[in-house]
Each structure stands twice: as structure tokens, then as C-alpha cells.
Chain A
Amino acid sequence: MAQMWITMGPQHPMTHGLWTLRVKVDGETVVDTEAELGYIHRGVEKICEARDFTQVTPYCDRLCYVSAMTWANSYIYAAEDLLEADVPERAEYIRLISAELQRLASHLMWLGAFGPDIGNLTLMTWCMRDREMFLDLLQELGGSRMHYNYPRIGGVKRDMPIGFADRVVAKTKLFEKRLDEYEMMLDESTIWLVRLQGVGYANAQDMVEAGVSGPNVRAAGVNYDVRWAHPYSVYDEVDWEPAVEKPTSVKGADCYDRYRVRMEEMRQSCRMVLDALDKIPGGRNTNYANGDAMILTKAPTRAPEGATGFSNYECTRGHSQFYIQGGGDGRGKNPYRVSIRSPMFITIPYVAKTMIGYKIADIPAIMGSFDPCIGETDR
């Protein structure tokens, strides 16, 4: 049979955003693929050069609209490396809690979008319902539902409101039960298993060579995680362990493993948040005033001459990294160059190649299981 190219996207439910997957098919079988990105390139790196270090934060929120808090944190750690800012212990705990709540919300968004890919529409409504709990919590911190602009260089914008900790505990404990419900619905569904198991194999070393990171690699059986390997925040003080799966084939993790590892990661996030609330210095039901030394240390606004800042952060989809070259006195208080490493920018072209050999109908399952987000990909 003749081979032909099919264009999936930019308007296609499989893409989870705006990008194009060009697929060369031989009958039903995928024989070659090509990813085309850049549809929503906003030039964030260039814009940052005309902003001072604090003004860059909201742009980093908008890199990924599903996971704003982790991206803003990632930038903040790089800026703190550059500006040599100290951070109070309490602020680090609050950042950890906010990042893990964001991870829950982001993974729920992923699961909610992944369900309809596979044909399970109920999942979408369940996940949106539960994600709302965590968006409400994040809104209490940052003041908005999606783009929080919450972390500051040297701390956080404001302390946890009174009662926030109790609401976190209540919602997290409720959500832990809900996770069991999800698993009852999904792991016993034949359609779910048939669509995911044995599809989209990717093994650990290949993925790392290709630059894939985060839960996708942990699904292939290695518990490598930036949060213990290059610890940043207070992840070494709270109780958790990296989620890891046991892939069932020498070919590596399939879509089912990648789904399982994210479910486990949500459990670990709940565990981390609950433990961090118990250990937070200053107490969980205290509210320090804005700018108090417990939550914010005044940071220099100008970078030392020739300094660079780098952060390596476990974002919800893999390693998000920032590399900043500082201005120094001669160049003012704006960064000279901000470089952003987005995990999905590297992962999407890799995933496109892993689809070769599978059927067209497997493409949404494979793509969805890697959790694509185009906001961060195109920057």
C-alpha cells in the first residue's frame, strides 16, 4: 500500500495545545513522524531582557498555564543563585507546599485530559472537580486561580492565611480517598488497560540520552528525581520518596506505567504537604505580616558583575531549568540573558519518534501519557 503523510494538529484533541504532528502512515501503521512546534512562541526570553528581576516572575507563571507555581519557583531559584539572596526557612516550606499543591493540580489536569483521549469521559469531570479544591488553595496564597505571581526573590509574597493549613489537611485527606476511587474506576476498566498496556514503550537510558526527564523516566524504573539528587528547598527535611514504577517489559515503560507513576506521585505530594505542615517553622496557623523576616528577606536588585544563575527544578513534567546572565552595574538591573529549558520542548520530538511502529489509534494514548504542555514548549 502506498505511504502517505497525515497532518494531526494544530487543531486536534491529541495535541493538548497547538502544535502539529505530521505522521507518515502505511495503512494503519505509523512509519515516520515529524513534530512542528512554535505556534504560540511569545518570545518570553527576549521580553525578560527588558524587565527587572522581579518583573520577570509573572512571565514565568505564564510559561505553563497548568503549572504556574512550579515555573515561577524555578525562575526564583535561578534569580536567587544570581543575586545571592537568602531565603527564610519558613518561606522555603511555604514554597514546597505551594509547589506540591500545584503538582497535584497539574497532574489532575493531565489525568482529566488523558481520560477523554482514551475514551473515558467521566474522568474529565471527576478530575476537574478535585482540581478545583487545589486551585482554591492556591488562590488563597496567590490571589488568582491560575497565574499566582506568588514567590519572590528572597521569600514569598505573603504568608499562609489563618485556617489555610486546616483546609489543606482536609482537602488532601479527602483527595487521598478520591485517588483510590480513580484507581478503582481505571485499573478495573478493560478499555483503559487495553488502550494503555503494551503501547508506547520507552526505556530509561534512551529517554535520558534524548533529554526526557521527570515522571516519564521514573515510570521506566529508576527513582532519579531532582528533589533528592540536586535538592533545592527543604525536600531533604520532609517525609516522601520518589514515585517509581516497575516496567513489565525490557522495552521500558508503556503508557500504563506512565499513568501509574503519576498516580503514585500525587500520593507522594499529599504526603509531603501533610508532613511539611507539621514541620513548618513558626507554626501552621500563624500569619506573619507581608514582608516579615520570617517569610521574606530583602534581596539585592542588581547582580554582581559577570555573575550567572542556574536552577534545576523538578517541575511537574520534568526538569525545568533557568540560566540567567546578570546585568552587573554597567548593564543595569535587568537580566542580560534569560534562558529557559522546558522539559516538553525536548520530550515532544522524542515522543513523536517513539510512535513509529504503532497504529494511528495509539497516537493519542502515547502522546497523552507523556503529558504535553505547549505553553512551556513554545515559550
Chain B
Amino acid sequence: MVGSITPEQNLSAAESCAAAISGRFGGSGIEVSVERHSNHKKYAFVRMTTPPQHWIALAKWLKFELDVNYCSMVTGTHFPDGPENRGWEVAYHFLRQPIVDQKPNTCTVHDVEQLSGNDIPVEFEVFIPLPQSDTPTVPSIQSIWVGADWNEKETWDLVGIRFEGHENMHRVLNPHDSPDGFHPLQKQHKLRYHDHNEMYDDAQGFLRKPADEGRVK
């Protein structure tokens, strides 16, 4: 049995990461805190909120100083009813994984009790609130984590967040000939279950109607 990361290891790693970030970026508008999940194990993770102009500096620092090597997901959210300074939000999730390249015929089996410093896996969450706007824009981190590439494509495709500096941006899940400006996860697009038919109302120019159009639902 290999053993798992203990709550103490997890908490101390998250706290030392948070302390390092606030030591480097304190006073720049970047907020850092150590939070806990509220499900089974109540594990701790690092949560950051940053204005978009500091994001690239923070991202590079995370990558090269804290060894955060894995960009796992990018989520855009639309808050049309939100406050003026938070009409959109981009949430990033990162993991730090103790991964090293192997010499031939060897493998690394981490002994969990011996893990220390930057080898302890930690989870990071970064929020970037964006003001109300028709063109929400954040800088792209594609050049820092290759793994962010398709995540950013998807976020633009579905939510319409623009990633400044992203190379080769194109539709990935929607049809490639979707009209400009059609991003289905924006909140003005309603589902029929919201008593609206907009998803069918010519968003893609197909003149489709639901089969039970006009009937009581």
C-alpha cells in the first residue's frame, strides 16, 4: 500500500504556496487565500483572485517558481445581472504534479511520506473577474502551459471570452461555420425549459423550430 497525501501535508503545502504568492505579489491587487473543499476529505487548496493585467506575471511565476506544471481547466462564466466590475469571470484550475522524465528502464514511485517542498501535489484556483462588456478579454496563457491551448479554444467557442495572444483560435465544439458572436453558454441564450425557444430561433440560421412549437409544455 502506497499511502496517500495526509491532511497535514496538504495543508502545509497549500499554506506555504499561499505565503509565497502573497509575499511576492502582496499589494498588487492579487488576493490569495487557503480554502478547503467541503466534501469528504475537506482538503485544502490555494485560491487566487487577480485583475487581468497581472495575470501573465502571476502565471509565469506559478509555473517557474512553484512548479505548477498542469493546467487542468479553464471556465468562463457570464453574469449579465452581476455588478459592473464582474460581468464575466474566468476561472482557472491548476495542479502541481511531481512528474519527471525517466531514464530508460526506470520509473519513479513516489513514497508519499518522503514528499516535501514543491513535490507535494497542490491544487490552485485562479479567478479573473472582468467588467461588464461585449468583448471580455484576458491574456492567453497558451505560451506558458501548452495544456491551456484547447481549454482556451473551448472557452472562447462556448462562452465568448477572448484570449489575447492565442494562436490558431478556432471553433472546436460548435460547427466551424457558426455565426460570429454566437457563443451558446452566454446567458442571453435560453433553453426551452426556460420558456424560451431561442436555441431554435435561427441562432445558426437554420430556421429550425421545435416539433411541439406552440403547444403547452
Contact = CB atoms under 8 A, between A and B. Distances in A.
B78 to A, nearest CB: 8
Contacts of B72: 211, 213, 312, 319, 321, 341
A242 B2 contact: yes
B93 interface: yes
B173 interface: yes
Given A81-B38, A203-B101, A222-B98, A337 B75 contact: yes
Interface stretch (A113-121, A174-182, A227-235): A227-235
Interface stretch (B15-23, B130-138, B147-155, B205-213): B147-155
B204 interface: no
B123 A241 contact: no
A194 interface: no
Contacts of A38: 171-175
B97 A247 contact: no
Nearest to A228: B4
A6 interface: no
A108 interface: no
Given A205-B69, A231-B5, A337-B75, A43 B184 contact: yes
A81 B109 contact: no
A85 B39 contact: yes
A247 B104 CA distance: 6
A129 interface: no
B99 A346 contact: no
B117 to A, nearest CB: 15
A252 B37 contact: no
B174 A211 contact: no
* Candidate in B1, B5, B72 with the most chain A CB atoms within 10 angstroms: B72
Given A222-B102, A349-B150, A310 B4 contact: no
Nearest to A82: B38
Given A77-B39, A230-B121, A211 B75 contact: no
B102 A231 contact: no
Interface string B166-200: 00000111110000000011000101011000000
A92 B77 CA distance: 31
Interface in A238-266: 239-242, 244-250, 252
B158 interface: yes
A85 B37 CA distance: 11
B110 A223 contact: yes
B146 A378 contact: no
Interface string B107-140: 1111010000000010101000000000000000
Interface string B55-79: 0000000000000011111010100
B106 interface: yes
B173 A223 contact: no
Interface of A: 37-38, 41, 43, 45-47, 49-50, 77, 80-82, 84-85, 87, 92, 203-205, 208-213, 217, 220-224, 227-233, 235-236, 239-242, 244-250, 252, 308-312, 319, 321, 323, 325, 336-337, 339, 341, 345-346, 349, 378-379
15 contacts: A208-B69, A209-B147, A210-B147, A217-B99, A221-B102, A222-B100, A223-B107, A229-B121, A230-B123, A232-B41, A236-B4, A245-B107, A247-B107, A321-B73, A337-B77
Interface of B: 1-5, 37-41, 43, 45, 69-73, 75, 77, 91, 93, 95, 97-110, 112, 121, 123, 125, 145-151, 154, 158, 171-175, 184-185, 189, 191, 193-194
Instruction: Give 7 nearest A-B pairs by CB, closest first.
Output: A211-B147, A221-B102, A236-B4, A341-B73, A229-B121, A339-B75, A221-B107
